Structure 1
Amino acid sequence: MQFYGVRNGKINLDDLKISFNKFRNFFIDTYIFFEERGDFKLAFNGFQHRPRLMKPSPEAYLFNHVGNKDVFPIEQYGHKLDKVTVFTLIEILHQFIWKTDEIDDFDMIEIFPDTKSSAQKEFRDEINKYLMHLDEGYELTEKGYIIDLPDNGLSNLIRQDLPVHTSDTVTMQVETAIKMFFKYDSNLEEKRKAINILADILEPYRADLKNYTTNKHDTMIFGIVNNYGIRHNDIDQKEDYEKPVWHEWMFHYYLATVHAVLSLKEEHFK
């Protein structure tokens, strides 16, 4: 429900920015809400006949994955944590959150990590309300990692499912590229590698591309990565361009091309 200010266009929530301290407070509030609801009971303590998921203890598990001995209880130490630690905790909590009334629907062997609780979506939806207002905006994805908030067009593309016939290897490569490019602390080298992964996916389909596109387009697809410092490192490479801007365009272009080629291949098999 939208209230007066938003409903009448007097308040634009999309333009609001918050400090990290404010975000951290919202994160702790969000954590406490789900913790008090019992959604971390299985992770922290175990539930009924099921052992805890954070083994051997929440303190030990978080120490091994966060590298900070003063993390748990989160409501006690959360106000002292830096951005990297908070973001890491968010990803961990998203992985382990479970509604206890859903647990009996699964055998122990099924429950983790492949099955998901509806609490994950609730946790994502809540934490994303605040992530989008921090810095230039972030997002906790369905896969469970935090990325820079992409523009609307690219955001829709990275959420789009690959065609059903796509191999597990290609699916993993695409997911790796998306995570590498958009993770909140990625640098130019990681973004370059992410673009290269997408170009490598297309390489085995090069013969098919000649049937789907013109020779000029086929040359352009591989010419970009071969001549603009993505695949090679030699004196002939064109390096004098605004990489942050053009790398995002390249990623969008190659991801869209991967989707298109795989979809055309699927049509060919029908």
Structure 2
Amino acid sequence: MKKYYAERKGLIKENLQMDLYEVLSFFYQTYMYFANKGYFKSAISGVWTGSYDNERQILPPSLAPSAEVFFTTKLQSKTVYPIYEYYESYQEETLFTVIEILYDHIAYYDYEADELIKEEPKKEFCEQINNILKLYKKGYYLEPKNGFIMEMPNEALKEQLAYDGNDMGDAVYKQLCTASEMYYRFDSNEEMKKKAINILADILESVREDVKNVLNSEYQINKNEHDRLIFDVVNSYNIRHNNGKQKTDYSKEIWYDWMMQYYTSTIITYHRLKKKHEFVF
């Protein structure tokens, strides 16, 4: 979004911080902005066409079988939907889950094009919600590619998460997205993070020999150097195995971040190089 004068010139010296009550108020105003535009109509009531006397439902509601049932079962609570009735009592985990659900289901039907438009509303929803989330506590972020809420990432991590997978197959990209969501979600615990790293290690394991050759295609070192760095970590630091030889006395909250970002970068780099050299040769 456009940066105005004070922000552009770096004149805002203190970052505003809001408590949960304030965030809930801002969230509701944002939700109503999109609801009034009809961006949740297809999710709640489906898409209808035809005259008043001859209506035909062409798309069922995506919040099936009803919005009330959907929110109640997903959050195991009867005090979530309707949003206007319960939003003021939301706890942090309820608010974040509701936001993720709204992201998944925001859309509008373009009758002229005869299609359900999703990407444009998702993008706008992320922009508006992120303006609020960044002010809460140390800052949160609705990731616009997969729609999960995480703590505010740095720019390098944002670029990783924005990767569209156009250099790899759908199956691998789906695994990559699953691992990212599992690791970076706001409520992810140590075990979930460990499993996410395992997913990435399994991706690399399935193409282990090819990874050696592709990574060595432009950077000539012993082929086993990359391999040793990649697999010694997950095989020796209680990630994939659980035995007496494993190293467990280390700062997992720090090193897991390194492992996750390193393996993600390695997978993306491998597929980009592979595509480039297949094209060249």
* Residues matched between the structures, number: 261
- Aligned residue number for residue 180 of structure 1: 182
Note closer, same or farther for the CA distance 1:176–1:7 as it changes in structure 2 (3 Å cut). closer
- Aligned residue number for residue 200 of structure 2: 198
Q: Displacement of 1:73 after TM fit?
A: 2.3
Q: Displacement of 1:8 after TM fit?
A: 4.4
> Does 2:229 align with 1:224?
no
Q: How big is each residue's C-alpha offset from its partner over 1:191-236, in whole Å with a ceiling of 9 and x where there is no partner?
A: 1111111111111222123323322222111101111111111121
- Aligned residue number for residue 93 of structure 1: 102
Superposition TM-score, scaled by structure 2 size:
0.85
1:256 to 265, 269, 277: 265
Note closer, same or farther for the CA distance 1:11–1:168 as it changes in structure 2 (3 Å cut). same
Say if 2:108 and 2:118, in contact at 8 Å, map to a contact too: no
Say if 2:17 and 2:137, in contact at 8 Å, map to a contact too: yes
CA distance in 2, matches of 1:268, 1:10: 47
Say if 1:63 and 1:71, in contact at 8 Å, map to a contact too: yes
SS in structure 2 of the partner of residue 48 of structure 1 = strand
CA distance in 2, matches of 1:3, 1:151: 22
CA distance in 1, matches of 2:39, 2:107: 5
Q: Which has the higher helix share?
A: 1
SS in structure 2 of the partner of residue 91 of structure 1 = helix
Which sections of structure 1, spanning at least 5 residues, go unmatched?
none
Note closer, same or farther for the CA distance 1:176–1:56 as it changes in structure 2 (3 Å cut). closer
Superposition TM-score, scaled by structure 1 size:
0.88
Q: How big is each residue's C-alpha offset from its partner over 1:50-76, in whole Å with a ceiling of 9 and x where there is no partner?
A: 343333332222212222212222122
> Does 2:71 align with 1:62?
yes
Note closer, same or farther for the CA distance 1:262–1:7 as it changes in structure 2 (3 Å cut). closer
SS in structure 1 of the partner of residue 135 of structure 2 = coil
CA distance in 2, matches of 1:180, 1:53: 24
2:161 to 146, 151, 158: 158
SS in structure 2 of the partner of residue 238 of structure 1 = coil
**How large is the Cα RMSD of the aligned pairs?**
2.1
SS in structure 2 of the partner of residue 11 of structure 1 = coil
Note closer, same or farther for the CA distance 1:222–1:105 as it changes in structure 2 (3 Å cut). same
Q: How big is each residue's C-alpha offset from its partner over 1:160-191, in whole Å with a ceiling of 9 and x where there is no partner?
A: 22343x22221111001100110001011111
- Aligned residue number for residue 45 of structure 1: 45
Greater CA drift, 246-255 or 136-145: 136-145
Say if 1:154 and 1:252, in contact at 8 Å, map to a contact too: yes
Which sections of structure 2, spanning at least 5 residues, go unmatched?
50-56, 217-221
Q: Displacement of 1:156 after TM fit?
A: 1.0
CA distance in 2, matches of 1:119, 1:103: 16
CA distance in 2, matches of 1:254, 1:55: 37
Q: What is the identity, as a one-letter code, of the residue corresponding to 2:113?
A: D
1:265 to 268, 274, 279: 274
Q: Which has the higher strand share?
A: 2
Say if 2:140 and 2:151, in contact at 8 Å, map to a contact too: yes
Sequence identity percentage: 38
SS in structure 1 of the partner of residue 150 of structure 2 = strand
- Aligned residue number for residue 81 of structure 1: 90
